[in-house]
Structure 1
Amino acid sequence: MRLPVRRWFDIILMMAPTVYSSPTAASGIPRKPRSRGLLSKLIRSAALAAGEEVVASTITRVKEDSPGFTSRVPKMAVYGALIDTTVTHLLFKCLGVVSEKMRGSIGPTLQLVLTFIIVTPIQKLTRLIMVAYTTGAKTYTRLKKTVKRVFLPSLAALGFLAPAMVAFAQIFLPEGARPLFFQYMALFIRVFDNVLVKKALRKIGKKEREREGDNRRTSRTSSSVISNDKRV
């Protein structure tokens, strides 16, 4: 069965790391402001970010007795409630403006393209930076190295999983169960990205320690050679 462009747009937004995955929000349809709706989005985004961090920390922990709930969990919850929700809201505001100006099938098609090339990369970039920072990348160099290692593999994984999950949902799942399925898949992708960041940062830290050890050994060797020359 062939899906219309607008339906593809809704599905991609469900797969993307966002709390604005409802069809009305995805289609750019104006809605009356509701304080309860905003509060539910904040709570949901905070819970997703915190849960993602707990699962990723449990998967990547070095020692078996290390706790999954760390000080990074509340930080990620604050990020999810404030930064992630704000960035997503602004991005969808812009998409809504585009949808209102474009008539016919051009608007949804342009929205779909913009989602792939602008919205999803920006969302992923902000979240990867936050995950890297809370995990231990406190300097600009470490942040840059970590995000550079993870960003493209993360986008590639989403590009591969999105059509595969859509095909699976169309064939095996009833229509009412598909939104929940895509939300679970969105959580899986978030955890996957978080695990990639933690492993990349661990490798970067290991290389830095090895480089420092080599520099120390080199300096000790050179200093011992200089002292021997002085004695001679």
Structure 2
Amino acid sequence: MNPLVPPGVYAPQEDTALLAGALSDEALLVGAAVLDVGTGTGALALAAARLGCRVTAVDVSRRAVYAARLNAARAGLRVRVLRGNLFDPVRGESFDLVLANPPYVPAPGGGRRPRGAARAWDAGHDGRLVLDRICREVPAMLSPGGVLLLVQSALSDPDRTVGQLRAAGLKAAVTRRHRIAFGPVVRGRERWLRQRGLLATTDDEEELVVVRAELPV
């Protein structure tokens, strides 16, 4: 059953599928506590719920929260869906797995915070407006042995993500890579990305990666 995607809610795309593939590789126990941050339609939260996990989904968008709740009900799956900014609604809790498909596309416009639907992809001048915060805050959200699975673009420096997570005491590495044709957002700012050196003159595809990080027991 395909999820319903109301206007203004990020539709599942190649990055969602890439992260879902990484999720399927994890040996999760039935009843494992899973957090899906930036859930959008709830597609990844539902995938985890189908594995028998106890799933919490969070999104800052009211429309996304509504969509995720509706899609969980349609699928007959139990998912706790909360509205809030990243980890704020679940402070003090810990999880066996955190899934994150945050905004990661570099955006012109200085320090302006994105508004509306653009909150799902625009992530500041270097694409790390949310990524850096996840790297700082996720260790406190993980149970011992807990895992973060995060998808991002090569445009927003996966090596920096891995380095920050390792510096925070996690075992981290890029575990999946996938090249895709430019989507409408990247096409719309292709010239700017090339001027900044984030795209080479010969690049005609964007690389997506999954970063896996584990908190030692």
What's the TM-score once normalised by structure 1's chain length? 0.27
Higher helix share: 1
Higher strand share: 2
Relative contact order higher in (CA < 8 Å, ≥ 6 apart) = 1
